[in-house]
Amino acid sequence: MKYAIALFFALSLSFNLSLAQDTKRNITNVKGDIDDALTYLQDLRTAVLTGLKTGKSVEQLTDSITLEKYKDWANYDNWRALNVQGMARHLKAIGAVN
């Protein structure tokens, strides 16, 4: 969860705006956007870990975890399933499921 660690670090800094760049455009964020991204990761982790610990498969989690409060975010439809699958891989790799 290097991304989450970077978000925690960013929140500790004093700033109002940040600039980031993806492959297509520059992105301007306010500090609240970073806080929202961290909250999303925490919500995603909680939902995936709970599902894995109850014995659900990654496929079942991909179908059932919707995180509806984020449905209006850009690329929600494109990234939701991949985020669930990636979080499941991460949690299994670090032994959090055992």
Domain that includes residue 17, residue range: 2-93
75 inside domain = yes
Whether the Cβ atoms of residue 87 and residue 48 lie closer than 8 Å to each other: yes
Task: Give me the residue label for tokens 């980031």.
Answer: 20
- Domains held by the chain: number: 1
21 inside domain = yes
pLDDT of 56: 98
41 inside domain = yes
Whether the Cβ atoms of residue 45 and residue 91 lie closer than 8 Å to each other: yes
pLDDT of 51: 98
pLDDT of 74: 85
Q: Tell me the pLDDT of the chain (98 aa) as tens digits.
A: 565 666 556 656 555 555 555 555 555 455 567 778 889 999 999 999 999 999 999 999 999 999 999 999 888 999 999 999 999 999 999 999 97
